[in-house]
Structure 1
Amino acid sequence: MAQTIYVLNGPNLNMLGVREPAKYGSATLKDVESLCADTCKRFGLDMVFRQSNIEGELVTFIQEARINKASGIVINPAAYTHTSVAILDALTLTELPVIEIHITNVHQRESFRHHSYVSKVARGVLAGFGVQGYALAIEGLAGMIGAKER
C-alpha cells in the first residue's frame, strides 16, 4: 500500500495565476496540483491536495491527515502562517512530519510576514522558490518518510 501525503493550501492560493503575477508567477493552483502529483508519482506516493480560504476547514484537513494515517503534510498556510495558533495546534497533534512552503521569500516582505507559527512544528521550511518549492518540499518529505525515487 502506497504512503499518502497531504498537500494543503491556505487562503487566496486559489487565485494563483491571477493574484500579483509579478510576485507569485503565472502558474495556477491546478498547475501546482499537477506538479505535486507528478512529484508524488516519482516517489510512489499517493496525494490528497486541498485548498481552503477558511481556517477551520484547514484544521479539519490536518486532523483528517492524522485520522487517515497519512505519512506527512506539505502545507502552504499563506496568511494563516502568521496568525493561526489553531493550525499550529492541529499540526502538532498530528505527530506527522510537516514541511512548510511559501512561494515567495516571506523574509524579504513586510515584517509581519517574518513570524511563522507553523515553523515551530515544521521539520523543514521552503520559501522563495516559486511554485517549484512544492516539488522540493515533496522530495524532502519523501526522504524523511523513506520513500525512494522510482
Structure 2
Amino acid sequence: MKKILTLHGVNLNMFGKRDPKQYGTVTLQEIDTRLQALGQQLGAAVECFQTNSEAAMCERIHAAFTEGKDAVLINAGAWTHYSYAIRDALDILTCPIVEVHMSNIHAREEFRHHSVFADIVRGQICGFGADSYLLGLRAALSALPE
C-alpha cells in the first residue's frame, strides 16, 4: 500500500467557516475523510496533517523524508507565496509532491499568483474546491512507479 502524506497549512483548519465564497462550506475533517476514502479505493494509506506553525510544518516534512512517504500533497495556504523555509524542507523530499489549492490562486489577488514551491513540485491543481485534493491524490499516485 502506498503511503501518502497530505499537508494542510496555515488557517486551513478554518475551512467550512472561512470565506465560503472562495472555499465553500466543506470542513477540513470532511476533506480528510474524502481523501482517506479515495486513498483506500486506490490502494493508498493517506495520512493528513494540519498546522498553523511553520516550524511544525517543516518538522513534519522532515519526518516524511525519514518515514519514506511515497508522495506528498500540500496546500500550504498563504505560506505558498513566501515560505522559503517550507520550500527548502520540501526540496529535501525525493518523492513526488503535488501542490493543491481549493481556490484558483491565479484568478485572485496578485500576490497569490506566485508559488515559491512551483519549481520543485510535480504539479499544481487549483480551483476545484475540495475536489482539488482528490485530483491531487490521483495525480500523485499516477506519478509513482507501478
User: What TM-score do the two structures reach when normalised by structure 2?
Assistant: 0.97
Alignment of 1:31 with 2:35, yes or no, is no
Q: Secondary structure of the equivalent of 2:72?
A: strand
Unaligned runs of 5+ in 1: none
Separation in 2 of the partners of 1:98 and 1:15? 24
Matches within 5 A, 1:54-69: 54-69=53-68
Q: Deviations over 1:34-79 (max 9, x none)?
A: 1110111111111210000111111111111110010010000100
Aligned residue type for 2:9: G
Q: Counterpart of 2:91?
A: 92
Q: Secondary structure of the equivalent of 1:119?
A: coil
Aligned residue type for 1:52: T
Aligned residue type for 2:79: Y
Matches within 5 A, 1:102-117: 102-117=101-116
Separation in 2 of the partners of 1:136 and 1:23? 18
Separation in 1 of the partners of 2:136 and 2:17? 23
Q: Secondary structure of the equivalent of 1:145?
A: coil
Q: Secondary structure of the equivalent of 1:38?
A: helix
Aligned residue type for 1:58: M
Unaligned runs of 5+ in 2: none
Q: Deviations over 1:111-136 (max 9, x none)?
A: 01111011111101001010111000
Q: Relative to structure 2, which stretch is displaced further, 42-51 or 138-147?
A: 138-147
Q: Secondary structure of the equivalent of 2:143?
A: helix
Aligned residue type for 1:64: A
Alignment of 1:14 with 2:13, yes or no, is yes
Aligned residue type for 2:87: L
Aligned residue type for 1:57: A
Q: Which portions of structure 1, spanning 4 or more consecutive aligned residues, are displaced by more than 2 angstroms?
A: none
Q: CA RMSD in A?
A: 0.9
Q: Counterpart of 1:52?
A: 51
Q: Counterpart of 1:134?
A: 133
Q: Secondary structure of the equivalent of 2:74?
A: strand
Q: Secondary structure of the equivalent of 1:74?
A: strand
Indicate if the aligned counterparts of 2:36 and 2:47 stay in contact, CA closer than 8 A: no
Using the aligned pairs only, state the percent identity.
34
Q: In the TM superposition, what is the alpha-carbon distance from 1:146 to its structure 2 partner?
A: 3.7
Separation in 2 of the partners of 1:36 and 1:146? 21
Q: Counterpart of 2:70?
A: 71
Q: Secondary structure of the equivalent of 2:40?
A: helix
